[in-house]
Amino acid sequence: MGKTTSTVNLAAALASHGVRVLVIDLDPQGNASTALGIEHHSGVPSIYEVLLGDRPLDEVIVPSAEAPELYCVPATIDLAGAEIELVSLVARENRLRRAIAGLQREIDYVFIDCPPSLGLLTVNALVAAREILIPIQCEYYALEGLGMLLRNVELVQAHLNQDLRLSTILLTMYDSRTRLADQVVQEVKEHFGDRVLSTTIPRNVRLAEAPSYGQSALTYDPTSRGSLSYLAAARELAERGVQPTEVPR
């Protein structure tokens, strides 16, 4: 549903206008790191060491060539074992929150790209975040998964992070040729109201191609429909005054 694509391109769009943005790659696959042109092979200092308490967050932040004010905390394959290693640690759900709280440099937005499952890594992201941005694919099955996600968010709100709130819905992979896409858009807007961004992200081949070149779509093809849509969505975020954001799947 465009989780990592949305994280990377919204971050790049904001940073291209001088906003200081940090992307924390919390997915062991490291797709956000790849899309931002950041090395993330085993042995590279990463979010893994931060969660285990071996390094402060500032030590693993890497600047991205995408924009002067865009930074990334890479994820390596070592992160795949973190779910098990975190189980025995004290305050395991608060590891990322404490790391972000100890950040020394000034950052305007923090985007956390989560893994596609609700394990300890995603729980850490939900505990650390103030707001949630959910990308919703304009297809029926995406709505089914949304209900389960929201129930899990409510559990986190009740027990671990009372300040967490769903602030933003972004409709992705919109195909204007299908009636179903319009129905999904209408249902989502009826249910979530002004939390839905007016900008929808279309199906666009450039969005899919860009990561294979280690770039965001905005760098790969800045005039494509996908790039222009993410620029518009980022502008909406900025105008709303949205604070550090977390992007679950």
One digit per residue, pLDDT tens: the chain, 249 residues? 688 999 999 999 999 999 999 999 999 999 999 999 999 998 899 999 999 988 999 999 999 999 999 999 999 999 988 888 888 888 899 999 999 999 999 999 999 999 888 889 999 999 999 999 999 888 777 777 788 888 889 999 999 999 999 999 999 988 877 888 888 888 889 888 999 999 999 999 999 999 989 999 999 999 999 999 999 999 999 998 744 444 444
Whether domain 3-247 has CATH 1.10.580.10: no
| Spatial separation of the C-alpha atoms in residues 39 and 46, rounded to whole Å | 10
Other Cβ atoms closer than 10 A to 206: 16
- What pTM was computed for the model? 0.91
Let me know: does 231 contact 13? Beta carbons within 8 Å: yes
Question: Strand pairing partners for 23?
Answer: 72, 111
What is the dihedral angle through the alpha carbons of 166, 64, 116, 2, rounded to the nearest 10 degrees?
70
- Spatial neighbors of 211 by CB under 8 A, at least 6 apart, are 4, 5, 8, 31, 34, 35
Amino acid at 85: E
Joined together, the tokens standing for residue 152 give: 């899990």
At 25, which helix (H) or strand (E)? strand 21-25
Let me know: does 124 contact 139? Beta carbons within 8 Å: no
Note the pLDDT of residue 110: 97
| Spatial separation of the C-alpha atoms in residues 47 and 91, rounded to whole Å | 17
Let me know: does 61 contact 51? Beta carbons within 8 Å: no
Q: What is the arrangement of strands in the sheet containing 21-25, beginning at the earlier edge strand?
A: 62-63, 70-73, 21-25, 109-113, 245-247, 131-137, 165-174, 196-202
Let me know: does 94 contact 100? Beta carbons within 8 Å: no
